[in-house]
Amino acid sequence: QSYLNTEKLLEVAIRSKAEALHPGYGFLAENPEFAEMCEKHGIVFIGPTSECMYKVKPKHRARQLMKMLNIPVVPGSDEPFKDITKAKFAEVEQAAESIGYPVIIKPSGGGGGIGMVVARNGAELVDAVRFVEERGRKAFGVPSFYVEKLLTGVKHIEVQVLADKHGNVIHLGERDCSVQRRFQKLIEEAPCQILSPHLRMKMYVAALDVAVALQYINALTVEFFYVPDTQEFYFNEVNSRLQVEHCVTELAANVDIVKEQIRIAAGERLSYNQDEVVLTAPSINCRITGEDAVRNFFPCPGKITSLRLPHGLGVRIDEGVYEGYELPPDYDSLLLKLMVRGQTREEALLRMQRALSEMKIEGIETIILFHQVALEDETFKSGKHTTDFIEKRDIIKKVQERAKILRRLGSR
């Protein structure tokens, strides 16, 4: 009834005589039908064309494109499954066994890690399929799904691409998004600390090839899984929208991505050529959510009764909260994004720790303490953390222990 109500949003845009509409980075941002509706009503959709979006939506279509471009993909099913009957479930079972457990069930219409479920054996597959079908139907209007091999001990790397209407296509380097819980990112940084120049360039070329093959216009993100042990990488997914974490690239590359989006939509050329884009300022982004990390990221909606935000050199905050703000239970729990940059990664880490220590949010639980503990971890400091970092390094247990100490100190 709110942010997914295409008719109402379009009605408001027409009534206000809006020339253009920016969809942000959620809800309808990757909805090709909504982009098409805007186009038909003469409203500029600040993003890719609906034609481009249809090429990679549902998500399994992107896998097929990567194979055509000879870009390695994670082992999985190339065609989606839907309307699962007993006979069709046997096909899902066969696919999972062929791929090899553990597998991950992904909604075809999904993104941002939403609705994905791991099945470690055949017994878990039944419930996983039921959940993903239902979640896909409710969240994306698409009940279909596909099956992929679950890769562990990998880095989640994504390459930011910009393309204008004049044939100019550039990348803005990569982001390391490997600190995740339930397949959703919590800490992002740019650049990645352990990629070799050769592998980094191969990823850049692959991402640019995708943009060219799609005849893409505007901001595009191509996600990869990098396997440090074998020095290989695999395509994960394409995001035909602005990413939540785009801001960390803005800091590292000193490029205003949203400004470029608007310029591109207006028919302007890119403000930069490839040689002018350099990641000169190591940057880190911490997502501050209304969750309790002590209870394994349990959602904690409620009212913010007191708010103090950090400031200073190299610190940026993107927020929409204030004292008295009520975090609703029906939407994403993200409160704000806390970003820093430094002349070196070490400086950026110190700056982030200082900023986290100065931030105070009262009235609801947040994951500030989680970030403080995670950034102190030696594996994270080395840059060698992978997507199983939280589990592998017992970060939740360390957060619980730190919380106990703080409670004792506070009671004295």
Residue ranges per structural domain of the chain: 6-55, 75-149, 155-409
Q: Which residues are catalytic?
A: 241
CA distances from 115 to 105, 132, 183, 287, 308 (A): 9, 6, 9, 20, 33
Looking at 31-40, 103-112, 231-240, 363-372, which range is the least confident one? 103-112
* Residue 254 near residue 281 (C-beta atoms within 8 A): yes
- Quote the pLDDT of residue 369: 98
Residue 405 DSSP SS3? helix
Q: Are strands 184-190 and 169-181 parallel, antiparallel or unpaired?
A: antiparallel
Share the mean pLDDT of the chain.
Answer: 95
102 upstream amide cis, omega within 30 of 0: yes
The verdict on domain 155-409 having CATH code 3.30.470.20 is: yes
In this predicted structure, the answer to whether residue 345 has a pLDDT above a threshold of 80 is yes
Q: Could you tell me the end-to-end alpha-carbon distance of the chain, in angstroms, rounded to an integer?
A: 49
- Six-digit token pair at 202? 């191969």
For 25-72, the pLDDT digits (tens) are 988 999 999 999 999 999 999 999 999 999 988 777 888 899 999 999
In this predicted structure, the answer to whether residue 412 has a pLDDT above a threshold of 60 is no
What fold characterizes domain 75-149? Dna Ligase; domain 1 (3.30.1490)
- Quote the pLDDT of residue 178: 98
Looking at 55-64, 192-201, 243-252, 338-347, which range is the least confident one? 55-64
Residue 47 DSSP SS3? coil
In this predicted structure, the answer to whether residue 243 has a pLDDT above a threshold of 70 is yes
In this predicted structure, the answer to whether residue 166 has a pLDDT above a threshold of 90 is yes
* pLDDT-based confidence at residue 3 (cuts at 50, 70, 90): confident
In this predicted structure, the answer to whether residue 108 has a pLDDT above a threshold of 60 is yes
* pLDDT-based confidence at residue 411 (cuts at 50, 70, 90): low
For 88-100, the pLDDT digits (tens) are 899 999 999 999 9
For 274-292, the pLDDT digits (tens) are 999 999 999 999 999 999 9
What fold characterizes domain 6-55? Rossmann fold (3.40.50)
Report the alpha-carbon angle 336-339-343, nearest 5. 175
In this predicted structure, the answer to whether residue 112 has a pLDDT above a threshold of 90 is no
CA distances from 190 to 93, 111, 161, 171 (A): 39, 21, 14, 13
